[in-house]
Amino acid sequence: DAGVIQSPRHEVTEMGQEVTLRCKPISGHDYLFWYRQTMMRGLELLIYFNNNVPIDDSGMPEDRFSAKMPNASFSTLKIQPSEPRDSAVYFCASRDRGLAEAFFGQGTRLTVV
Amino acid sequence: AQSVTQLDSHVSVSEGTPVLLRCNYSSSYSPSLFWYVQHPNKGLQLLLKYTSAATLVKGINGFEAEFKKSETSFHLTKPSAHMSDAAEYFCVVTPNSGGYQKVTFGTGTKLQVIP
């Protein structure tokens, strides 16, 4: 398995634009997590899914953020409209219900100018 | 409720000397504990995990950690540091019971290895 795959690896966009981050979890994993990493706040859990259903989105900062998981092999995190303070590295992770640990993608570095 | 505290934000060691990265946790449930490593501009890689089996856990690259319930600690150690160990390390706690899957990350410890 290629692991958790995120795209794009880097994204630079202008303030006000819509940004979509993509994630392909490891095949067979039941859980999918979206995290945001910044220098100021460290790693924050934004939202997680179990069997494609959003379970806890209490970490989503505001209504500008939305996440979907239309099927077991794909998830998106959308920011609309984007703001400079959204600049961060966004990680996707997936986990098999039979394992305790999650596996992380390489991250998407988002810069909003 | 659960939390994890990494006691040092930066640790600096000389190559070939021991590494100690400290982690304390609190959890209302029997916890699972992990250490992840993040090299610059990379994702997080699992180093080792504790899930209520043996309290001394061995991981990759010569790292190990000991779960001490009485001290609520899960410190990461390595006998001899290598230059390639320079990275940021995260201690992570999650409830071991079924159902609630929330994971809590520590704030990270940056390890510097001096030649």
Strands B73-78 and B87-95: unpaired
Continuous segment of H or E residues that includes residue A43 = strand A42-50
**Rounded to whole angstroms, how far apart are CA atoms A75 and A42?**
23
C-beta atoms of B105 and A42 within 8 A: yes
Instruction: State which residue of chain A sits closest to B99, comparing Cα positions.
Output: A97
- CA A26 – CA B46 distance, rounded (Å): 15
SS3 A84: helix
Which pLDDT tens digit goes with each residue over A52-108?
Answer: 999 989 999 889 999 999 999 999 999 999 999 999 999 999 998 888 788 999 999
Contact B37, B45 (CB under 8 A): yes
A100 → closest Cβ in B94, B107, B108: B94
Q: Is A57 helix (H, G, I), strand (E, B) or coil?
A: coil
Chain B residues near residue A43 by CB distance under 8 angstroms: 90, 105, 108
Reported as a single tens digit per residue, the pLDDT across A12-40 is 999 999 999 999 999 999 999 999 999 88
Residue of B43, B101, B108 with shortest CB distance to A104: B43
Percent of the residues in chain B that have a pLDDT greater than 70, as a whole number: 94
Longest dimension (CA), chain A: 42
Residue of chain A whose Cα is closest to the Cα of B35 = A101
Q: 3-state class of A58 per DSSP?
A: coil
